[in-house]
Structure 1
Amino acid sequence: MSSIVTEQGILHYESIGRGQPIILLHGWINSWDVWRDLMISLANTKRYRVYALDFWGFGDSAKGSQAQTAAFQIDSYVEMVHQFMDSLGIQSAPIFGHSMGGTVALQISLAHPDRVEKVALVGSPIIGRSLHPFLQLAGYGSIAKLVWRYPIVLHSIMRILLAKDSKEVRNMIFRDVQRTTIESFFRSIGDLRDTDLSKQLPTLNIPTLGIYGAKDNIVSPTNADLLKNGVKSVEVQMMPQSRHFPMTDEPERFLKTVNSFLINHSNGQAVQ
């Protein structure tokens, strides 16, 4: 267990392997652990040093205070990754993100392309309004506080949303939501809901990968079309049997896609 100290408190991360640095960012009410299998697989190639971060407000990173609510917004998470890279002396690296983490990775790539060698989005919203309606509602403080006050309501909604997901995914989410505070719960998803990076996509000039589950009910897989139509150098892999966690639903295909992207430069052609 490793960490650095920031103005917003402790930033927890895990790392494994030796070689080129790669940074992995998790999604909403999740933690670094969503990347565990990928981290091990990449480290076993002996080519990569893999870092998986916990966003402020999630996992084992600082939960902040009500006075630090700005720390739970997309721009603040971009700054968090900058602080992490500066602290460890990482000038640039491939950055992968799942769900909200992919939106953060995309924002970093658009605003600071010199720090991102390649970017990969896994089930990530480019337009926040493509989120499931419940996630959009969870971004309103009054609704979030009501749900938070009655945990049985939150758990019931999560069971409905995750009913067709694997036991592994359900256990992971139910564990990670218990390490989340109400402030990070609704402020992060509220900011994500209001994010729209679609118009900036044509300015992205680094190799880009999009992986989406065809059966994703959390983030609409139509975001893949935005990537294909907006980014110059892009590969898009649609996972036909996957929902919101393709790394768990189709692990072999997911790993093959990631390895291919890391080894080869994008040729600008979308892969179906």
Structure 2
Amino acid sequence: MHPVCKSATRPRNLVSSITTDQGIVHYEVYGRGKPVILLHGWLGSWGLWQETMAYLGKYYRTYAMDFWGFGESGKKRETYAIQDFVGLVNQFMEQLGISRAPLVGHSMGGTVSLSVAIRYPERVSKVVVVGSPIVGSSLAVPLKLAGYRPIAFMLFNMMGVFRFGVRAASPFICRDERFPAMMDRDLSRTTVESFLLSIASLRRTDLRPMLDQIRIPAMGIYGDRDIIVNPKQWQPMQKGITHAHIERFPLAGHFPMLEEPLQFSEKLKAFLDRDERTRPRKATSATLNTSPTPSVTL
């Protein structure tokens, strides 16, 4: 689940869209320098990244897009599979003249980022995943159930009850008190098709057999208190990408960028700043950061 952070500083630069072969795609861009592309997750939008963009935009030109079916992008597709979003990222980069860039993805967006790095390796210079499922079976049971058509239609027909359930579970999902309002905004922008088909595709995904194809620098960020995706999904990531750098946030859940915004942004920037020409290191105790991270009040 991925909210719009309404009270964060909205990047003040270009608000725009592109026309793809499958409809309009909304994006926002902020800052100057080398490009970095940020991808949201299921039920989300570009707004998840507002605080991250405000920080990174001082050093990089940050792009945050809305996937088809979410946020302000078009919603007239018949399919919303992970591979559809992989193709969208390639089209997005092609149309904006971005030949190669780091991809940073949250939850489903991280699964998409890894898939882009596998399918279009020439496009991706670095890849970062945040609370992302490597294996779809790691999703929480309610999310897996939402990928079945009868349940998805029932939830949409009982949206008031569904939203009440989200609000009741919010303290366990994200410590940010703005979270319920954020979710309401993003839920209002989804359709039953994008709701159902994207999570159904994610549930069936298993990237483990392909991870060894990723040779670029890779980073996984996981909150130990995540109840949306199994927080131990960093393990199959590191097993498949042996040079991957792992950062764990012991006090955060599925949204470390909201619960620990400064620590998150600093660690992300440090990874992006590393010389791309440096050969990836083998995983050591130094590459697995499990030290407690101080809580930052939003």
**TM-score, length basis structure 2:** 0.87
Secondary structure of the corresponding residue to residue 44 of structure 1: coil
Query: Any conservation in 2 of the 1:205–1:232 contact (CA below 8 Å)?
Result: no
1:175 to 178, 185, 207: 185
C-alpha distance in 2, partners of 1:21/1:119?
13
Matching residue of 2:121 = 113
Matching residue of 2:84 = 76
Shift of 1:86: 0.6
Shift of 1:271: 2.1
Shift of 1:232: 2.8
Query: Any conservation in 1 of the 2:32–2:58 contact (CA below 8 Å)?
Result: no
Matching residue of 1:42 = 56
Matching residue of 1:31 = 45
Secondary structure of the corresponding residue to residue 125 of structure 2: strand
Shift of 1:201: 1.2
Secondary structure of the corresponding residue to residue 244 of structure 1: coil
Aligned amino acid, residue 136 of structure 2: G
Matching residue of 2:100 = 92
Matching residue of 2:233 = 223
Query: Any conservation in 2 of the 1:204–1:232 contact (CA below 8 Å)?
Result: no
Shift of 1:105: 0.3
Per-residue deviation, residues 229-272 of structure 1 (Å, max 9, x unmatched): 21032100010110110001111211121011011155343322
C-alpha distance in 2, partners of 1:7/1:110?
22
Structure 1 stretch displaced more, 158-167 or 184-193: 158-167
C-alpha distance in 1, partners of 2:45/2:127?
19
Count of residue pairs the alignment pairs up: 266
Per-residue deviation, residues 194-252 of structure 1 (Å, max 9, x unmatched): 00001211221110000000000001111111112210321000101101100011112
Secondary structure of the corresponding residue to residue 262 of structure 2: helix
The percent identity for this pair of structures is 44
Secondary structure of the corresponding residue to residue 78 of structure 2: helix
Q: Which runs of 5+ in 2 are unaligned?
A: 1-14, 290-298
C-alpha distance in 1, partners of 2:105/2:44?
12
Matching residue of 1:211 = 221
Per-residue deviation, residues 26-85 of structure 1 (Å, max 9, x unmatched): 01001000001111111113xx11100000000000011xxx322x11000011111111
**TM-score, length basis structure 1:** 0.95
Matching residue of 1:55 = 67
Structure number with the higher helix fraction is: 1
Aligned amino acid, residue 64 of structure 2: A
Aligned amino acid, residue 39 of structure 2: L
Query: Any conservation in 2 of the 1:235–1:268 contact (CA below 8 Å)?
Result: no
CA RMSD, 1 decimal: 1.2
Secondary structure of the corresponding residue to residue 133 of structure 2: coil
Aligned amino acid, residue 67 of structure 2: F
Secondary structure of the corresponding residue to residue 5 of structure 1: strand
1:194 to 195, 204, 217: 204
Aligned amino acid, residue 31 of structure 1: S
1:20 to 12, 18, 34: 34
